[in-house]
Structure 1
Amino acid sequence: MNIKTQASRWIVGIALSVSAGVAGADEVPFNQAAYAQAVAAGKPVVVYLHADWCPTCRAQQPIVDRLSKEPKLKDVTIFVADFDKETALEKSLKASQQSTFVVFKNGHEVTRSTGQTAEPAIRAVLEQAL
């Protein structure tokens, strides 16, 4: 491979990385400090209480992955919280089930949903953060 080809591949890789980062929502592992800061700042936030063993969560995950890439949701941060480990978060949110989305806008909870597996319903929930 010559230097021009390498340079071209590098430039294309950078362009794809940048466009992928701008294209959709941030889907990140739950972090208490980052979550608290985002909600306090009034940013659009969704907490997704997920469990690997949960069949509903397994059905939701590819939908969330797909929707999080949509440009419309680019400003939304989706915190994926492990239902089995984040017990303090569950108590603070009064969430008793996995497969739950809790949506915040302007620092306040605006909606929540549990057990949805239809893409249009999940989309509607995530868009409530906008």
Structure 2
Amino acid sequence: MLDRRLFLIALAALSSFACALAATAGDRMPYTQQEFEDAQKAGRPILVDIRASWCPICKAQKQVLAKLLPSAEHADIIVFEVDFDTQKDVVRAFGAQMQSTLITFKGKQEVGRLVAVTKADAIKRLLDSTG
């Protein structure tokens, strides 16, 4: 019985890890602590996008990201979306003061942060910091 439980736990962990690895260029997925940690452990370049549906700056950032993320140089970046209004604990954990916050990670290391910036060149430099 114990072997079966260990097998199921290992299978669940492997499945979660595989999901983080399977994410492709510019994939936007809702933030979960487990998926984020799996992506960090895998050494993936990460963008955390703290946004609100009502935020015009967030919408402008999303348009810029839609143009930048498909490029080959940003092909490995996984994007985690954090809802500013419903995930307050996550927002606080990242030290964000407001929506429209973009944070990049290279594995476990935070490598860049922009707040309320919509200029494509600045956002590109932020994405480049994950490389």
Q: TM-score range by the shorter chain?
A: 0.7 to 0.9
Do structure 1's residue 122 and structure 2's residue 119 form an aligned pair? no
CA distance in 2, matches of 1:23, 1:31: 17
CA distance in 2, matches of 1:26, 1:53: 21
Do structure 1's residue 92 and structure 2's residue 108 form an aligned pair? no
Q: What is the deviation of 1:25?
A: 2.9
2:32 counterpart residue number: 31
Contact 1:23–1:71 under 8 Å retained in 2: no
CA distance in 1, matches of 2:34, 2:24: 25
What is the number of residues matched between the two proteins? 110
Contact 1:27–1:68 under 8 Å retained in 2: no
CA distance in 1, matches of 2:41, 2:92: 19
CA distance in 2, matches of 1:22, 1:67: 17
Structure 1, unpaired ranges of 5+? 1-20
CA distance in 2, matches of 1:103, 1:22: 16
Q: Deviations over 1:57-105 (max 9, x none)?
A: 1111111112111111111101111111111211111111110011111
Question: 3-state SS of the aligned residue for 2:118?
Answer: coil
CA distance in 1, matches of 2:130, 2:78: 9
Matched letter for residue 115 of structure 1: A
Identity %: 31
Q: For residues 120 and 26 of structure 1, do their structure 2 counterparts lie closer, same or farther at Cα, with a shift above 3 Å needed?
A: same
Q: What is the deviation of 1:43?
A: 1.4
Between structure 1 and structure 2, the one with the greater Rg is: 1
Alignment of 1:38-117 (within 5 A): 38-117=39-118
Contact 1:48–1:80 under 8 Å retained in 2: yes
CA distance in 1, matches of 2:23, 2:106: 20
Question: 3-state SS of the aligned residue for 1:129?
Answer: coil
CA distance in 1, matches of 2:32, 2:72: 24
Contact 2:82–2:91 under 8 Å retained in 1: no
Q: Deviations over 1:18-64 (max 9, x none)?
A: xxx99833222222211121123321111000111111111111111
Contact 2:46–2:107 under 8 Å retained in 1: no
Matched letter for residue 32 of structure 2: N
Question: 3-state SS of the aligned residue for 2:57?
Answer: helix
